């Protein structure tokens, strides 16, 4: 069972001007893909690099969080600062995850190449940036879902590094 934290990055949702749709899309997508998770934390923060970094630092200090999924702030707009905040927080990148998500998006739209999503590890916790677009959240999770249990198991020390997930 993967212990999950979700962070929605949205100025409007953080101010209560609109409901968060990203967090529910993550939950629904993981369930439909058969990824066994227990949600242990959920935050909505503004498109602010400091707030995002603080949330990532806080969540990765917790021993009961294996995976942090963010949604929003991965595009080219000036307020899209999730990748910068994530790069500031992580100990090392896991570029194959972001590459797989961009590849999946490119199969649907040329705009998929514009994603700046980052994936990496801090203190044994995997952090993955997902887009804010709900359809793209589903597509991106579909591209990486099969590898998530193996990744988390490896970080927990439960899986040998040469064991491959079947998918």
Domain spans of the chain, in order of start: 2-156
Q: Is the pLDDT of residue 18 over 60?
A: yes
Q: Is the pLDDT of residue 161 over 60?
A: no
Q: What percent of the chain has pLDDT over 90?
A: 94
Structure confidence at residue 159 (pLDDT): 73
Write the class of the CATH domain 2-156.
alpha beta
Q: How many alpha carbons lie under 13 Å from residue 104 in its C-beta half-sphere?
A: 20
Q: Is the pLDDT of residue 163 over 70?
A: no
Report the DSSP pairing between strands 2-9 and 67-71.
parallel
Structure confidence at residue 75 (pLDDT): 95
Q: Is the pLDDT of residue 165 over 60?
A: no
Structure confidence at residue 100 (pLDDT): 98
Structure confidence at residue 164 (pLDDT): 58
Q: Which residues pair with 38 in a beta bridge?
A: 3
Structure confidence at residue 166 (pLDDT): 58
Q: Is the pLDDT of residue 136 over 70?
A: yes
Q: Is the pLDDT of residue 144 over 80?
A: yes
Beta sheet of 37-45, edge-to-edge order: 37-45, 2-9, 67-71, 125-130, 119-122, 92-93
Q: How confident is the model at residue 57 (pLDDT cuts 50, 70, 90)?
A: very high
Q: Is the pLDDT of residue 94 over 80?
A: yes
Q: How confident is the model at residue 167 (pLDDT cuts 50, 70, 90)?
A: low
Q: Is the pLDDT of residue 88 over 90?
A: yes
**Whole-structure pTM over 0.75, yes or no?**
yes
Give Cα separations from 123 to 63, 157, 161 (angstroms). Answer: 9, 13, 18
Q: Which residues pair with 126 in a beta bridge?
A: 67, 121
In this structure, what is the dihedral angle of CA atoms 81, 86, 88, 92, given to the nearest 10 degrees? -150
The runs of H, that is alpha helices, within the chain are 11-14, 22-32, 49-61, 82-89, 95-106, 134-144, 148-156
């Amino acid at each position: 069972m993967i212990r999950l934290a979700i962070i929605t990055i949205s100025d409007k949702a953080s101010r209560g001007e609109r409901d968060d749709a990203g967090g529910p899309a993550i939950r629904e997508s993981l369930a439909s893909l058969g990824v066994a998770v227990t949600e242990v934390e959920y935050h909505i923060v503004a498109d602010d690099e400091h707030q995002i970094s603080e949330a990532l630092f806080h969540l990765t200090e917790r021993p009961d969080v294996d995976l942090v999924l963010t949604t929003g702030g991965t595009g080219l707009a000036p307020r899209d600062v999730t990748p910068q905040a994530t790069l500031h927080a992580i100990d090392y990148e896991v570029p194959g995850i972001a590459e797989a998500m961009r590849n999946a998006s490119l199969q649907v739209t040329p705009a998929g190449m514009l994603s700046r999503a980052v994936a990496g590890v801090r203190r044994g916790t995997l952090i993955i940036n997902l887009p804010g677009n709900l359809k793209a959240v589903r597509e991106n999770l579909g591209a990486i879902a099969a590898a998530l249990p193996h990744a988390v198991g490896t970080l927990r020390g439960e899986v040998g590094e040469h064991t491959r997930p079947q998918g």
